[in-house]
């Protein structure tokens, strides 16, 4: 029988744990602080930022949303980031992407203090992840949330084959690193791969993050596979759907995450979890 990996329920449980941790910090006189910087007025970005801000408030995290004009200069944007770097009440800094044309996103990410890089995008933290170094450091939230989803299945991953379809710095590349760090054999490909089906049909764990509606169909999956759909697309009727044809593959796989209600809620829950992580770790770093 196929298991639906319910991201909403997993996120609810994770948020409850996070809220308990926030309360414990509050008892010590500490409040986790999250600064979210948004540049311009992109509707999708504004919607996503509002959902983050609302969830943070529900959990007791002090969330600050700083909306800046699309005309802001690179220097002024970097100055805002550096001000939050120096603010001891802020433990996590997030710059909502995409940035308007003319702004260097890589330079902005590089300006964030690695110890406040709640998105896990800073090269220092990416390097730690890819080298599988011990210690505390933030990692990309979507892949970390996916790892929590996989762990919820209580299916041994060691020695199994994972295929990641997607090579972005936000999902595909860090996802491959986390799966490799979990002792899996990992293949990474993308939507342009000429041998895509030959790879996906060998996957015990298949993670798809391409933004191509129903790229993966029944013939593209291995019987008994675990399938994680990161896509968030609209079909011809305007219905929210994913990169995987859910109905077509459902009876063939062991477990699958739905869209919506799968990876999305876990990404935001993991962002909140990681904000609290950074607050707790700041004591070890002597930042408070």
Three-class SS of the chain: CCEECCHHHHHHHHHHHHHHHHHHHHHCCCCCEEEEEEECCCHHHHHHHHHHHHHHHHHCCEEEEEEECCCCCHHHHHHHHHHHHCCCCCCEEEECCCCCCCCCHHHHHHHCCHHHECCCCCHHHHHHHHHCCCCCCCCCHHHHHHHHHHHHCCCCCCCCEEEEECCCCCCHHHHHHHHHHCCCEEEEECCCCCCHHHHHCCCCEEEECCCCCCCECHHHCCCCCEEEECCCEECCCCCEECCECHHHHHHHCCEECCCCCCHHHHHHHHHHHHHHHHHHHHHHHCCC
β pairing state of 240-241 and 233-234: antiparallel
User: Is 166 labelled a binding residue?
Assistant: yes
Catalytic residue numbers read: 52, 96, 119
How many angstroms separate the most distant Cα atoms in the chain?
56
Q: Which two three-digit tokens encode residue 275?
A: 């904000």
Is 168 labelled as part of a ligand binding site? yes
Return the residue matching tokens 């929210």.
240
Q: CB neighbours of 65 closer than 8 A, spacing ≥ 6? A: 36, 38, 49, 53
Q: Which residues participate in the annotated binding site? A: 166-168
Q: Which residues participate in the annotated binding site for NADP(+)? A: 166-168
């Amino acid at each position: 029988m196929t298991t639906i990996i319910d991201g909403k329920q997993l996120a609810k449980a994770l948020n409850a744990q996070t809220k308990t941790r926030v309360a414990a910090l509050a008892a010590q006189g500490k409040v986790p602080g999250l600064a979210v910087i948004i540049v311009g007025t992109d509707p999708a970005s504004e919607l996503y930022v509002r959902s983050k801000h609302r969830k943070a408030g529900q959990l007791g995290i002090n969330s600050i949303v700083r909306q800046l004009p699309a005309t802001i200069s690179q220097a002024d944007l970097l100055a805002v980031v550096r001000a939050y770097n120096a603010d001891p009440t802020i433990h996590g800094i997030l710059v909502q992407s995409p940035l308007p044309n003319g702004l260097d996103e890589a330079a902005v990410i590089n300006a964030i203090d690695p110890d406040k890089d709640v998105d896990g995008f800073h090269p220092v933290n990416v390097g730690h992840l890819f080298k599988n170094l011990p210690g505390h450091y933030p990692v990309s939230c979507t892949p970390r949330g996916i790892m929590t989803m996989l762990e919820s299945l209580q299916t041994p991953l060691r020695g199994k084959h994972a295929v990641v379809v997607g090579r972005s710095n936000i999902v595909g590349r860090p996802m491959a690193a986390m799966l490799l760090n979990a002792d899996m054999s990992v293949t990474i490909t993308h939507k342009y791969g000429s041998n895509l089906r030959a790879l996906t049909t060998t996957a015990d764990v298949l993670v798809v993050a391409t933004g191509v509606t129903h790229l993966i169909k029944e013939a593209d999956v291995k019987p008994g596979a675990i399938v994680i759909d990161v896509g968030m697309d609209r079909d011809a009727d305007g219905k929210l759907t994913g990169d995987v044809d859910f109905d077509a593959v459902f009876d063939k796989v062991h477990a699958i995450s739905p869209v919506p209600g799968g990876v999305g809620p876990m990404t935001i829950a993991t962002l909140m979890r990681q904000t609290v992580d950074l607050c707790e770790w700041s004591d070890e770093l002597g930042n408070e």
